[in-house]
């Protein structure tokens, strides 16, 4: 059971608590400092593969779960404690910010997110509201406050948001897409309207992320899950300035994780966009990706999520391989190359966390 933040003991915010968090392996790795073992957390670590999560979901819809702080906090804390990971990530969704931007969002059963009034023209972009009043997302901040209170005092909490391109694509496509036809057509045929839309998103996101930080998040992640659909030229022309604007506006001193999938061709450009930690998916080896990004950046990754559908021996071998690729360098955070899939065996997830801790501590 999660205790409401209104019942929180003020001592939970003491200097001792802050020191414990800042000295955690996760935040030390974000700063590329020495760690006693490689920290690990997993994208979608609170999800349908866990029976505890499914039990909560049976009582409510996905969107209601996101909007009920006590439930969002419960699934966040349960997953972090059950898995023994080195950071929790708040349970939410990257599309929650779309509602205060004047979009009609629904999570349709069996279909995923649906935007019933997609953005397809310059007139639609003009009607798009910039998020200036962050109180529209108070339920996210309250979930963070309750989660922060319930977590161990030395376990960091990650806040997050979708990156400008991925959010824009959802807005334009109206849901999931394979080819991003509407998105790219608008981008190519009305560049002025495209940049206006991206500026509205890029001005809204720091307000949202900084409010998460103020509520109790120790780091934030920017998810650019769809940006791998772009060429390097298009990324630099249509996306990079807006992503950079978001990252540069995050509260100073708070680590920013910049994550994308299918981005092996974009790594140098993503580095230019910014971030303290760059996410690597499984399509590129960790050592090659880190070499291209440079040793002055921390990296996160990069086990293929499908590896968790094998057995413990294979998971352990792949874990060892990735740790060997990281070598003795400071700044590696172990993660999957993307999120945990719903059918993933929980025992293999537990085996992965144990393997990361055990094998890296031997070094």
The pLDDT value given to residue 16 = 62
Contact predicate 125/198, CB 8 Å:
no
Is residue 222 pLDDT above 60, yes or no?
yes
Distances, alpha carbon 192 to alpha carbons 102, 125, 195, 198, in Å: 21, 11, 5, 10
Worst-scoring range by mean pLDDT, 4-8, 297-301, 323-327? 4-8
Is residue 117 pLDDT above 90, yes or no?
yes
Is residue 11 pLDDT above 60, yes or no?
no
Report, as an integer, the average pLDDT of 175-195. Answer: 96
The pLDDT value given to residue 7 = 44
The pLDDT value given to residue 67 = 97
- Residue 4 pLDDT class (50, 70, 90 cuts): very low
The pLDDT value given to residue 96 = 98
Q: Dihedral of CA 101/64/53/155: which sign?
A: positive
The pLDDT value given to residue 89 = 98
Backbone angles phi, psi at 210, to 5 degrees: -70, -30
Is residue 362 pLDDT above 90, yes or no?
no
The pLDDT value given to residue 298 = 98
The pLDDT value given to residue 351 = 98
| Pairing assessment for the beta strands 298-300 and 277-279 based on DSSP bridges | parallel
The pLDDT value given to residue 5 = 45
Q: Look up the CATH number of domain 5-361.
A: 3.20.20.210
Percent of the chain at pLDDT > 90 equals 93
| Chain segment 239-280, per-residue pLDDT in tens | 999 999 999 999 999 999 999 999 999 999 999 999 999 999
Is residue 12 pLDDT above 90, yes or no?
no
| Alpha helical stretches, state H, the chain | 15-22, 25-30, 51-57, 62-67, 69-83, 122-127, 138-150, 164-173, 181-189, 191-215, 232-234, 240-248, 267-273, 286-293, 312-326, 346-361
Percent of the chain at pLDDT > 70 equals 95
| Chain segment 123-165, per-residue pLDDT in tens | 999 999 999 999 999 999 999 999 999 999 999 999 999 999 9
According to DSSP, the residues that pair with 256 across neighbouring strands are 220
Residue 8 is encoded by which pair of tokens?
Answer: 């929180």
Catalytic residue annotation: 44, 48, 57, 93, 170
Is residue 9 pLDDT above 90, yes or no?
no
- Residue 15 pLDDT class (50, 70, 90 cuts): low
Which has the higher per-residue pLDDT, 1 or 234?
234
| Chain segment 24-83, per-residue pLDDT in tens | 999 999 999 999 999 999 999 999 999 999 999 999 999 999 999 999 999 999 999 999
The pLDDT value given to residue 17 = 83
Is residue 329 pLDDT above 80, yes or no?
yes
Report, as an integer, the average pLDDT of 107-133. Answer: 91
């Amino acid at each position: 059971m999660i205790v409401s933040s209104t019942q929180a003991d003020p001592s939970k915010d003491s200097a001792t608590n802050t020191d414990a968090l800042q000295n955690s392996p996760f935040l030390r790795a974000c700063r590329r400092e020495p760690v006693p073992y490689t920290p690990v957390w997993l994208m979608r670590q609170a999800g349908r593969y866990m029976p505890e999560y499914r039990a909560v979901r049976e009582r409510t819809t996905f969107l209601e779960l996101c909007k009920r702080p006590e439930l969002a906090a419960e699934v966040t804390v349960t997953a972090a404690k059950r898995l023994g990971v080195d950071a929790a990530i708040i349970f939410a969704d990257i599309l929650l910010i779309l509602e205060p931007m004047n979009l009609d969002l629904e999570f349709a059963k069996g279909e995923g997110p649906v935007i019933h009034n997609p953005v397809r023209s310059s007139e639609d972009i003009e009607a798009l509201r910039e998020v200036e009043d962050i109180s529209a997302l108070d339920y996210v901040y309250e979930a963070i406050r309750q989660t922060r209170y319930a977590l161990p005092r030395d376990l960091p909490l990650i806040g997050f948001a979708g990156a400008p391109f991925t959010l824009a694509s959802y807005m334009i496509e109206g849901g999931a897409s394979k080819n991003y036809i509407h998105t790219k057509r608008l981008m190519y045929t009305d560049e002025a309207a495209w940049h206006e839309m991206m500026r509205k998103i890029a001005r809204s996101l720091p307000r949202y992320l900084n409010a998460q930080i103020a509520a109790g998040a120790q780091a934030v992640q920017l998810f650019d899950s769809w940006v791998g659909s772009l060429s390097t030229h298009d990324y630099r022309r249509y996306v990079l300035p807006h992503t950079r604007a978001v990252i540069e506006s995050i509260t100073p001193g708070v680590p920013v994780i910049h994550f994308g999938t299918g981005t092996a061709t974009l790594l140098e450009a993503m580095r230019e966009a910014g971030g303290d930690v760059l996410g690597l998916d499984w399509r590129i080896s960790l050592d090659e990706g880190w070499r291209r990004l440079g040793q002055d950046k921390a990296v996160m990754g990069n086990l293929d999520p499908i590896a968790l559908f094998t057995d413990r021996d294979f998971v352990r071998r792949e874990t060892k391989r990735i740790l060997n690729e990281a070598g003795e360098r400071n700044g590696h955070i172990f993660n999957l190359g993307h999120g945990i899939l719903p059918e993933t065996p929980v025992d293999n997830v537990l085996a992965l966390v144990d393997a990361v801790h055990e094998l890296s501590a031997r070094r």
